[in-house]
Amino acid sequence: MFESLFQKSIIDILPKVRGKYLKNVPLSKHTWFGVGGPAEVMFIPQDIDDLSHFLINKPYNIPLSIIGGGSNLLVRDGGVPGVVLKLDSPYFRRYEIKDDCIKCYAGMKNIDLKKIFLNNGIGGLEFLCSIPGHIGGSIKTNAGCFGKCIKDVLVSAEIMDSTGKLKTVYPDDLKLSYRHSLFPDDWIIVSITLKAEKADAKSIMETLDKQKEYRIKNQPYNEKTAGSTFKNPEGLKAWELIKKSGCDKLQIGGAKVSEKHCNFLINTGKATAEDIENLGNLIVEKVKENTSITLEWEVKKIGINK
Ligand SMILES: Cc1cc2nc3c(=O)[nH]c(=O)nc-3n(C[C@H](O)[C@H](O)[C@H](O)COP(=O)(O)OP(=O)(O)OC[C@H]3O[C@@H](n4cnc5c(N)ncnc54)[C@H](O)[C@@H]3O)c2cc1C
């Protein structure tokens, strides 16, 4: 644990806040892979002013990482030094509907949008409900599925920079592309406004049901995974390259390639982050050997090795 390394807790030198500081938080409980060491400190700001106050007064040499729902993250076994920010207070889980737009705060779970869409007749955004994770993470990764991604529906986003200043940015500023955005790493996404369409509850429910059915049939469901491990190289499918290179049955320790979709890696229960990272790296190596193509990780890796 970090305390033995650092003697004193860094909480002693962090600014006083109204939100919560939590020490040595096991990040395995905050990520879908269910692996990884602790956050030295997790900070859950109470609201936007609390977050701004923290950023203005945080000693510059204490590293800050941001997590959302942890569905696209591999946290290494040695954990994450410094502060891990999670926008997990009620303030950051709100939404506002105005005209044909919905403003969602970054800590909202995508799945919670389902009820809001059904109750308010909001359509055109159903794809988001089936993507695990939180709103903030969705825009950072320009999440998408079923032929749509955040880029197609984004009106604007509110971000806070590392000096605690809030500003509004627009799609053109962000250069959203396939699973990528131009958000500098020290920008914190606070909220996003999405363009919606009017729809009736029956058609929304039909779309949601079809999406769920597709996922259950074609992807690992209720498994410890972080979704697609590698981005699709332009014009190609990562899973096809993985299969063609004979990697679809690989296993290292408790980490294995999913039998249902070979671009998904699974923690079978006893995997370490190292098992998962090594398995991913082995796939990259073998695909390169067989096809000359270098797969790029879609899953984000944070923290230090044990
Ligand atoms: C079973 C399964 C299926 C999946 N299917 C899809 C799919 O169909 N399409 C798809 O696009 N993805 C898919 N994913 C991947 C994942 O759900 C998405 O990438 C999701 O948008 C990540 O959101 P998150 O909140 O979990 O982010 P995290 O995993 O917590 O973080 C991802 C990145 O976003 C950053 N981040 C998070 N919140 C903020 C914030 N507020 N401000 C700034 N940066 C932030 C983190 O620092 C990190 O770099 C799937 C994952 C799983 C487990």
Query: Given this model, what pLDDT does residue 7 score?
Result: 60
Query: Given this model, what pLDDT does residue 53 score?
Result: 98
Predicted TM-score (pTM) of this structure: 0.95
Question: Which of 64, 130, 140, when mutated, tests ligand 1's pocket best, judged by the most ligand atoms within 8 Å of its CB?
Answer: 140
Task: For residues 109 and 82, give the distance between their C-alpha atoms in angstroms, rounded to a whole number.
Answer: 25
Q: Does residue 215 carry a catalytic annotation?
A: no
Neighbours of 177 (CB within 10 A): 11
Phi, psi of 74 (to 5 degrees): -115, 110
User: 143 C-alpha vs ligand 1 centroid, how far in Å?
Assistant: 7
Q: Does residue 298 carry a catalytic annotation?
A: yes
Say which amino acid occupies 131: I
Q: Report H helices in 94-200.
A: 113-120, 126-129, 135-140, 150-153, 171-174
Catalytic residue of the set 93, 162, 179, 258: 179
Q: Which domains does the chain have, with CATH numbers?
A: 2-89 (3.30.43.10), 94-218 (3.30.465.10), 238-302 (3.90.78.10)
Query: Given this model, what pLDDT does residue 4 score?
Result: 52
Query: Given this model, what pLDDT does residue 49 score?
Result: 98
Q: Whose CA is nearest to atom 49 of ligand 1?
A: 300
CA distances from 171 to 16, 103, 158, 234 (A): 35, 15, 11, 22
Report the chain's mean pLDDT, rounded to a whole number: 95
Question: Which of 55, 131, 185, 221, when mutated, tests ligand 1's pocket best, judged by the most ligand atoms within 8 Å of its CB?
Answer: 131
DSSP secondary structure letter of residue 90: G
Question: Which of 72, 127, 139, 260, when mutated, tests ligand 1's pocket best, judged by the most ligand atoms within 8 Å of its CB?
Answer: 72
Catalytic residue of the set 228, 245, 274, 277: 228
Q: Does residue 126 carry a catalytic annotation?
A: no
Per-residue pLDDT of 22-67, as tens digits, reads 999 999 999 999 999 999 999 999 999 999 999 999 999 999 999 9
User: 71 C-alpha vs ligand 1 centroid, how far in Å?
Assistant: 5
Strand partners, 228: 264
User: 134 C-alpha vs ligand 1 centroid, how far in Å?
Assistant: 7
Query: What are the pocket residues of ligand 1 if the criterion is a CB atom closer than 6 Å to any ligand atom?
Result: 32, 66-73, 87, 106, 131-134, 136-138, 140-141, 143-145, 188-189, 225-227, 300
Q: Return all residues near 148 (Cβ < 8 A) that are at least 6 apart.
A: 127
Q: Whose CA is nearest to atom 37 of ligand 1?
A: 137
Per-residue pLDDT of 94-134, as tens digits, reads 999 998 999 999 999 999 999 999 999 999 999 999 999 99
User: 93 C-alpha vs ligand 1 centroid, how far in Å?
Assistant: 16
Task: For residues 108 and 184, give the distance between their C-alpha atoms in angstroms, rounded to a whole number.
Answer: 21
C-beta of residue 144 within 8 angstroms of C-beta of residue 150: yes
C-beta of residue 157 within 8 angstroms of C-beta of residue 193: yes
Phi, psi of 14 (to 5 degrees): -85, 155
Catalytic residue of the set 126, 274, 277, 298: 298
Q: Which residues in the chain land under pLDDT 70?
A: 1-7
Query: Given this model, what pLDDT does residue 5 score?
Result: 52
